[in-house]
């Protein structure tokens, strides 16, 4: 490799240029979308790929999206031949998708006069409903067919307009179709804007094809940087098991098992021994599992390392086919993307902490604390609500974990109380941190969130959460974080609810959610650390 290939000035300019395109795609989508989940919570991500489907660049969006999107592009490339002005859609978890509400649009980038793409732009956004048995498409189910509409890779945009055949079929099977259409049009328009911007920026660099081919240097540089970071760490290996707060199909407790090792500049991550499929939608497609490993490598790399496909090239990853981390159809997957992904990170975090003591924070809340609600058949109509809620972060070598923060595989905002009360028939009663809920240790874990929402009309709600039966663990003698809790307050009486389930809410009911806290790092002064398992 020539020294000029890794010229820091050239690579810095190239990185900023490519990432600016993905940022513009996301901003355009967010500004033109209608649903608060995309517009205000920013539950979307954008990325840029070369002609071979390698991830070249993305902005600071949602980690569980970004590490999994290469599989979506791979599925589109294997299935379709995109023409200029076309974009494919996919959400099939067994063909490049993550879970059904995440609709990914993939658009080919073309040089003038060419019929084969020289690259791809993709934008993934979580839609508040994609059909299924329960409003919000995020209820715990035992079969993927109950979770919503499953879309294999197909052309959804032609000539920069939604394909009428696809649109007719899709909108007939989802709730609040006008909101779905507006958000899909926002995604499609943002990709068109991104391709146009690429051509503008590439005009002085030999064209868009030449520009994207330069991206191979960024990929090689990212791999080089993460390999150097790994070489600087001591060689080590360990095996960790973490519970999933669920049972497998045979009624046995489900666990994620990882054999974790580092030798030289290579990381080995082997999930052999992980439990088979589970219910409640907690299975993860392989793409989601890969995204958790990608996230770990991004955290281990130096801060200025460009995030792209080169990071994952530094790992040897093995995932047992048919396990809950590579779910086969028709296993349900709604919670794999949002809950199991966090538990995979817990396992990787604990393994890294065992290999390199004093360097890795304790696991955080370990749950995105998902809940949805929508209208009941005999009640007034209103849009479907979906949200993930933040929890406490783990304490670490640099200090205590922050309170009530989105972390690890998620990177969204909270829905503002003003938006909640304006758009949905609810009243926000409380929104703040859980008092007295920080895990004790040398570096305490952060406290979770407490939120109370009063329903002003009847509604059907679903909850999809974990870390209620088991606590987020501490490391190096730190105490575990507080488990999560859900309750409904009806006529002044509080009734505890399960972490995953579907309930009917009446007018005046108050839903109280307390999200898990993060584990602490290190024993308090004067206390000798004890061994701890996840």
Per-residue pLDDT tens digits for 255-269: 999 999 999 999 999
Per-residue pLDDT tens digits for 227-252: 999 999 999 999 999 999 999 999 99
* Residue 396 confidence (pLDDT): 96
At residue 533, does pLDDT exceed 60?
Answer: no
The mean pLDDT of 450-475, rounded to a whole number, is 97
Percent of the chain past pLDDT 90, that is, above it, reads 93
Average pLDDT along the chain? 95
Per-residue pLDDT tens digits for 509-519: 999 999 999 99
At residue 221, does pLDDT exceed 50?
Answer: yes
Per-residue pLDDT tens digits for 318-336: 999 999 999 999 999 999 9
Q: Alpha-carbon distance 68 to 71, whole Å?
A: 6
At residue 83, does pLDDT exceed 60?
Answer: yes
Per-residue pLDDT tens digits for 393-405: 999 999 999 999 9
Q: Alpha-carbon distance 200 to 190, whole Å?
A: 15
The mean pLDDT of 123-147, rounded to a whole number, is 96
State how far Cα 19 lies from the chain centre.
19
Q: Alpha-carbon distance 380 to 371, whole Å?
A: 20
pLDDT category at 529 given cuts 50, 70, 90 is: low
List the beta bridge partners of residue 200. none
* Residue 526 confidence (pLDDT): 67
* Residue 134 confidence (pLDDT): 96
At residue 115, does pLDDT exceed 60?
Answer: yes
Residue 249 has a CB neighbour count (10 Å cut-off) of 14
* Residue 60 confidence (pLDDT): 84
* DSSP helix/strand/coil, 456: coil
Q: Alpha-carbon distance 300 to 296, whole Å?
A: 6
* CA dihedral (270, 275, 481, 338) positive or negative: positive
* DSSP helix/strand/coil, 1: coil
Q: Alpha-carbon distance 482 to 460, whole Å?
A: 28
The number of residues in the chain equals: 534
* Residue 531 confidence (pLDDT): 46
* Residue 436 confidence (pLDDT): 87
The mean pLDDT of 6-22, rounded to a whole number, is 93
Q: Alpha-carbon distance 338 to 274, whole Å?
A: 18
For the chain, state the CA radius of gyration. 23
The mean pLDDT of 9-14, rounded to a whole number, is 94
SS3 of 67-86: CCHHHHHHHHHHHCCCCCCC
pLDDT category at 534 given cuts 50, 70, 90 is: very low
Evaluate whether 502 touches 139 at the Cβ level (below 8 Å).
yes
Helix, strand, coil in percent for the chain, rounding step 5: 30, 25, 45
* Residue 61 confidence (pLDDT): 87
pLDDT category at 530 given cuts 50, 70, 90 is: low
List the beta bridge partners of residue 459. 505
Q: Alpha-carbon distance 460 to 464, whole Å?
A: 14
């Amino acid at each position: 490799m020539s020294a000029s290939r890794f010229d820091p000035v050239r690579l810095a300019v190239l990185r900023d240029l490519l990432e600016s395109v993905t940022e513009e795609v996301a901003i355009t989508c967010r500004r033109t979308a209608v649903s608060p989940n995309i517009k205000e919570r920013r539950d979307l991500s954008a990325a840029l790929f070369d002609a071979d489907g390698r991830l070249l660049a993305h902005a600071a969006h949602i980690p569980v999206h970004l590490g999994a999107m290469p599989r979506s592009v791979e599925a589109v490339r294997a299935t379709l031949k995109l023409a200029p002005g076309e974009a494919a859609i996919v959400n099939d978890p067994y063909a490049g998708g993550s879970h059904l509400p995440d609709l990914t649009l993939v658009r080919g980038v073309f040089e003038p006069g060419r019929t084969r793409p020289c690259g791809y732009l993709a934008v993934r956004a979580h839609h508040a409903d994609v059909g299924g048995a329960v409003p919000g498409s995020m209820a715990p189910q035992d079969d993927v067919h109950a979770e919503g509409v499953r879309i294999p890779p197909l052309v959804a945009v032609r000539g920069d307009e939604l394909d009428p055949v696809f649109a007719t079929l899709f909108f007939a099977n989802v709730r609040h179709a006008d909101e779905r259409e507006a958000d899909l049009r926002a995604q499609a328009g943002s990709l068109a804007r991104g391709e146009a911007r690429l051509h503008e920026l590439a005009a002085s660099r030999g064209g868009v094809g030449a520009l994207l081919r330069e991206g191979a240097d960024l990929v090689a540089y990212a791999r080089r940087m993460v390999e150097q970071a790994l070489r600087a760490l001591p060689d080590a290996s360990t095996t960790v098991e973490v519970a999933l707060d669920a049972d497998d199909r045979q009624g046995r407790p489900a666990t994620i098992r990882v054999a974790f090792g580092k030798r030289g500049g290579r990381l080995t991550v082997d999930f052999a021994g992980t439990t088979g499929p589970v219910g409640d939608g907690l299975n993860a497609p392989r793409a989601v599992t890969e995204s958790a490993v990608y996230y770990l490598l991004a955290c281990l790399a130096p801060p200025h390392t460009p995030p792209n496909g080169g990071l994952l090239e530094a790992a040897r990853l093995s995932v047992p086919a048919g396990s809950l981390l590579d779910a086969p159809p028709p296993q349900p997957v709604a919670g794999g993307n949002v809950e199991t992904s966090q538990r995979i990170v817990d396992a990787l975090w604990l393994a890294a902490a065992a290999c390199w003591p004093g360097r890795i924070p304790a696991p955080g809340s370990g749950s995105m604390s998902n809940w949805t609600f929508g209208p009941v058949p005999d009640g007034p109509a209103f849009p479907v609500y979906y949200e993930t809620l933040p929890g406490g972060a783990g304490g670490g070598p640099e200090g205590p974990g922050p309170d009530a923060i989105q972390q690890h595989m998620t990177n969204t905002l909270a829905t503002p109380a003003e938006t909640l009360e304006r758009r949905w028939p609810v009243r926000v009663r409380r929104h703040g941190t859980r008092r007295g809920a920080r895990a004790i240790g040398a570096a305490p874990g952060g406290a979770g969130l407490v939120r109370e929402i009063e329903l002003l009309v009847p509604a059907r709600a679903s909850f999809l959460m974990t870390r209620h039966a088991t606590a987020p663990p501490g490391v190096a003698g730190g105490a575990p974080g507080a488990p999560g809790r859900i309750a409904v307050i009806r006529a002044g009486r509080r009734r505890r609810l399960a972490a995953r389930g579907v309930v009917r809410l009446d007018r005046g009911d108050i839903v109280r959610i307390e999200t898990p806290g993060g584990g602490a790092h290190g024993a308090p002064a004067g206390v000798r650390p004890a061994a701890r398992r996840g």
